[in-house]
Amino acid sequence: MHPILILVSQRIALGLLLLFAASVLIFAGTMILPGDVAQSILGQSATPEALANLRAELGLNDPPVTRYFAWLFGAMQGDLGTALTNGQDIASSLGRRLENTLFLAFCAAIVAVPLAIFLGLLAVRYRNRWPDKLISGVTLASISIPEFLIGYLLVYFVAVKLGLFSSVSMINDSMSLGDKLSAIALPVAVLVLVVLAHMMRMTRAAILNVMQSAYIETAELKGLSGFNVIFRHAFPNAIAPIVNVVMLNLAYLVVGVVVVEVVFVYPGMGQYLVDHVSKRDVPVVQACGLVFAAVYIGLNMVADIVAILSNPRLRHPK
């Protein structure tokens, strides 16, 4: 078998194994939470008979292993259960919320990724000069500030003082694309500022590492312009670490949006998760955790596969 196929198969198998381990941790974590689910649903005035009947109906009396595999097999078939608080199908509710979260992450990514790569190339072109120092300083400052603080600052200055955008990012299916983009402008700005620095600095470091190669010196001796050498010769050979850091940040844009969605009351998965954590709706928390884990592991697996495919020594083995 071709070495690339072996490595890709190993990455896929490892990703599935990690997802299984994550599902075990998610289920175990929700099981050891303090309190009684039946008590939280029926309230403190519930009779012991009503509590016992509800526990039996929810399967809370079954052994944890039995409950875990029943939940896992149901999730594998697309059945994430029913929300305890409102009786709604979790998969349907989660699908709409996941679509909103992916829309927010996509809008942030199409701004952040090209901008980070461009700023990284620009920093390499003018390394150790004022553009490089300015870009590095500003991006480092942005990543050092907590995202909730950036969000509240944007709400105060941009939404309240200037009145340019709404401080509440509510969207629905009846809105046009322009209205949706206007509504999510502030959370997108926060996410871009949070992930931009990491991608830019990794792009800069990866290209600078390649710039030490002998063929780069040869290209410079041929009289090629500095930006041409960086973009056409150094950048393609630094693509693997750049793809890895881009995928990590794309995973964060989906998985790490909980705080941003809460700040801007955005109807995504993060807001959905926080709402049901406060209600101790365990099936919803388990479903959200599993989806977040699947997205994060999946994007990292894609990054590994892209890194493998971009390695010429693996594509053309001797």
Task: Tell me the domain boundaries of the chain.
Answer: 90-315
Q: For residue 1, what pLDDT is reported?
A: 66
Q: What is the pLDDT of residue 226?
A: 67
State both tokens at 295. 């997205």
Helix axes 269-278, 282-309, angle to 10 degrees: 150
Write down the pTM of the prediction: 0.81
Whether CATH 1.10.10.60 fits 90-315: no
- What is the enclosing helix (H) or strand (E) of 268? none
- pLDDT band at residue 189 using 50, 70 and 90 as cut-offs: very high
Residue at token pair 């075990």: 24
Mean pLDDT of 105-126: 89
Q: Is residue 56 very low, low, confident or very high in pLDDT (cuts 50, 70, 90)?
A: confident
Q: Which of 42-51, 184-193, 268-277, 297-306 has the lowest mean pLDDT?
A: 42-51
The CA R_g of the chain, rounded to the nearest whole Å, is 24
Q: How confident is the model at residue 89 (pLDDT cuts 50, 70, 90)?
A: confident
More confident residue, 305 or 313: 305
What are the DSSP calls for 178-224, one per residue?
Answer: HHHHHHTHHHHHHHHHHHHHHHHHHHHHHHHHHTTSHHHHHHHHTT-
pLDDT at 62 over 80: no
pLDDT for the residue 107: 92
Among 105, 195, 100, 109, which residue's Cα sits nearest to residue 150? 195
**Rounded Cα gap, residues 218 and 236, in angstroms:** 16
Check pLDDT > 60 for residue 209: yes
